[in-house]
Amino acid sequence: MKLQNKIALITGGTSGIGLEAAKLFIAEGAKVAVIGTNPERLQAAAQTLGDDALVLSADLRNPADIDRAIGDVAATFGRIDIVFANAGAAKAAPLEGITPEMISDQFALNFTGLFLTIQKASPLISKGGSIVATTSFLNAVGAPGLSILSATKAAIRSLVRSLAAELAPRGIRVNAVSPGPIATPFHTKLGLTDNQLSEAAAAIEAQVPLKRFGQPIEIARAALFLASDDSSFTTGSEFVVDGGLTQI
């Protein structure tokens, strides 16, 4: 058991990578708090994760929701050992189709929401704590139609270095996990037609040296490594799990 008696906060823990991580962390002995917004997915997550999970509805674009959610975690568990800051979403659009609202909306969730989650959780984390942020292969390569999502992920990569430096004196590690294309509902929310989606999926799959999409459990295992003492001498780093897409 790699996370015996640990308390883990997982944003986006109701779907895809975050849900898989929540299951894995519980199997490794942790109690988890998961955050999402969609009522059906929240209910399904509560059922799947059972008594070891606190399932919280909070829109991370709203700072007051973050305050409330962290307050609930504090009231229930009293402390946080692990933050998996993983929630993210995007709308695909070409340069000429992007509006100021699309930029602020994606940054509000992917960057500001992640930042404020870590900021508000930080007083509850003590020495030995671990923060893991989900970045993306898109912070290392350019892809048409995904400029804003990619920029949010590059901002997170930078933040991980800064926070690792700031929190090292407190004995708290901060790292990123960088997924390649992963089979989750994420892509269906990009606002693409079914045709556009299957074309984009085929194109990206062809570029991945391992010639397939990754599975959410493959990212969850990397998050577990970074969250646990197995990575006790690792901070400020980015663990790339992308089938070789950005590395070969």
Ligand X SMILES: NC(=O)c1ccc[n+]([C@@H]2O[C@H](COP(=O)([O-])OP(=O)(O)OC[C@H]3O[C@@H](n4cnc5c(N)ncnc54)[C@H](OP(=O)(O)O)[C@@H]3O)[C@@H](O)[C@H]2O)c1
Residue ranges in 97-126 that form contacts with ligand X under rule CB under 6 A: 109
Residues of span 71-100 touching ligand X by CB under 6 A: 86-89
Contact 10, 88 (CB under 8 A): no
Using CB under 6 A as the binding rule, the residues of this chain from 215 to 234 that contact ligand X are: none
Cα-trace Rg, the chain: 17
Asked whether 58 and 65 are in contact (CB, 8 A), the reply is yes
Q: Are 192 and 92 in contact (CB under 8 A)?
A: yes
Residue closer to ligand X by CB (options 23, 41) is 41
| Residue that the structure tokens 């990123």 belong to | 176
Q: CB neighbours of 28 closer than 8 A, spacing ≥ 6?
A: 1, 2, 3, 4, 224, 228
Span of 10-18, 71-79, 165-173, 229-237 interacting with ligand X by CB under 6 A: 10-18
Least distance to ligand X, CB of residue 232, Å: 24
Which pairs count as long-range contacts for 167-170, CB under 8 Å and 24+ apart, including other chains? 167/122, 167/131, 168/235, 170/125, 170/126, 170/127, 170/129
The rounded distance, in Å, linking the Cα atoms of 232 and 212 is: 31
Cβ atoms within 10 Å, residue 241:
20
Tell me if 12 contacts ligand X by CB under 6 A.
yes
Q: Whose structure tokens read 């999409």?
A: 213
Q: Which of 31, 36, 121, 173 binds ligand X (CB under 6 A)?
A: 36
Q: Establish if 60 lies at the interface with ligand X (CB under 6 A).
A: yes
Nearest distance from residue 87's CB to ligand X, in Å? 4
Q: What are phi and psi of 227, to 5 degrees?
A: -75, -30
User: Using the rule CB under 6 A, is 69 a contact of ligand X?
Assistant: no
Is 129 among the residues that bind ligand X (CB under 6 A)? no
Query: What mask, x for binding ligand X by CB under 6 A, covers residues 168 to 207?
Result: -----------x-xx-xxx--x------------------
Is 243 one of the binding residues for ligand X (CB under 6 A)? no
Q: How far is the CB of 236 from ligand X (least distance, A)?
A: 19
Q: How far apart are CB 170 and ligand X at their closest, in Å?
A: 25
How many positions of this chain bind ligand X (CB under 6 A)? 30
CA distance 40 to 104: 26
The residues that touch ligand X, with contacts defined as CB under 6 A, are 11-12, 14-18, 35-38, 41, 58-61, 86-89, 109, 134, 136, 179, 181-182, 184-186, 189
